[in-house]
Amino acid sequence: MRLTVEDVHLGYNGRIAVDGVSFAVEPGEMVAIVGPNGSGKSTLLRGMSRLQKPSTGRVLLNGTDIREMSARQVARNLAILTQSPDAGSDLTVRELVFRGRYPHQGILQRVTRADIEAVEWAMHAADTAQFASRPLGSLSGGERQRAWIALALAQQPRVLLLDEPTSFLDISHQVEVMHLLRRLNHQGMTVVAVHHDLVLAARFSDRVIAMRAGRIEFDGPPLKVFEPAGLERVFGVPMMILTDPETGLPIPLPRPDPLLCPVAHTEPAEASRTGRLSGG
Ligand code: ADP
């Protein structure tokens, strides 16, 4: 399913947050949107679903303007996980995840075998099955985040939009979520996610779109677009790029400030023990 963003402007009370953005996401792509706080990433993502209406411009799903589709029609094809989604804290994980089935249910909202299977699959995929019966209010931030991911998966969308899906997660769950998204992507799901972590963005995306002040600063494969000058323009700090010895992919990092970052000195005793210092 092709998602096209055509000269989209979005704002709040007359203040522009996304200032004329255009790009197309091809079926099966895995795209990261990066950029500093306030650069318009979340607003853009909301505009790509039906959550926020562009003041001008259009968003198309396979050539049809999503404003000309019903909310239900859009939801059968596209799911969005926003940054701080809200639901009653008494709701259990399973009840939450069942909500993902609404767009697929008929008027009577009778639960079918397909609904139950989709919910169980989604909870299992997002590693939430073990706390399926617990209320959301009793979960840790990371557990709650995974419950919301399960909700989006239960929708069985062809396009999945996520706003910082790895925030609140410890490193093992970050990797787990990224592996899950990559697996879903390999099975044909188009994934567009806002990321703060540039290393994860580089490792798990086919393409990175960098936003600055409501506009796209660069757009391309991480190996091509992650270079110090472009990243410095976007983030406003000196940057450097290391190369992952295992994948050859870029590892973007802020350059260390020599006055503030300790330099690793090898102690003479340690050096002689490890054989790195010859003679006294
Ligand atoms: P990012 O996701 O890159 O941090 P946002 O899309 O959240 O950026 O914000 C872009 C701009 O829109 C910022 O200037 C922000 O203050 C403003 N903004 C975001 N949400 C709202 C809102 N609900 N009401 C008013 N202004 C908002």
Our measurement of the distance from residue 138's CA atom to the centroid of its chain's CA atoms, rounded to an integer in Å, reads 25
Distance from the alpha carbon of residue 43 to the mean position of ligand 1, in angstroms: 6
- Contact (Cβ atoms closer than 8 angstroms) between residue 231 and residue 205: no
Distance from the alpha carbon of residue 41 to the mean position of ligand 1, in angstroms: 8
Task: Specify the DSSP element, H or E, that contains 71.
Answer: helix 71-77
Name every protein residue with a CB atom under 6 angstroms from any ligand 1 atom. Answer: 12, 17, 35, 37-43
pLDDT of residue 272: 52
**Cα angle value 108/111/112 (rounded, 5°):** 115
The structure tokens listed for 15 are 């203040």
Distance from the alpha carbon of residue 174 to the mean position of ligand 1, in angstroms: 25
49-103 tens-digit pLDDT: 999 999 999 999 999 999 999 999 999 999 999 987 777 788 999 999 999 898 8
Residue nearest to atom 21 of ligand 1 (CA): 12
Distance from the alpha carbon of residue 94 to the mean position of ligand 1, in angstroms: 31
Its pTM stands at 0.90
Which ligand 1 atom lies nearest to the CA of residue 11?
Answer: 12
Residue nearest to atom 5 of ligand 1 (CA): 40
State in words which class domain 3-278 has.
alpha beta
Residue among 13, 42, 161, 163 whose CB has most ligand 1 atoms within 8 A, to mutate: 42
Task: Give the model's confidence band at 279: pLDDT under 50 very low, under 70 low, under 90 confident, else very high.
Answer: very low
123-176 tens-digit pLDDT: 998 989 999 999 999 998 888 888 999 999 999 999 999 999 998 889 988 998
177-235 tens-digit pLDDT: 899 899 999 999 999 999 999 999 999 999 999 999 999 999 999 999 999 999 999 99
Distance from the alpha carbon of residue 39 to the mean position of ligand 1, in angstroms: 8
CA distances 35 to 103, 191, 202, 243, Å, are 32, 18, 13, 21
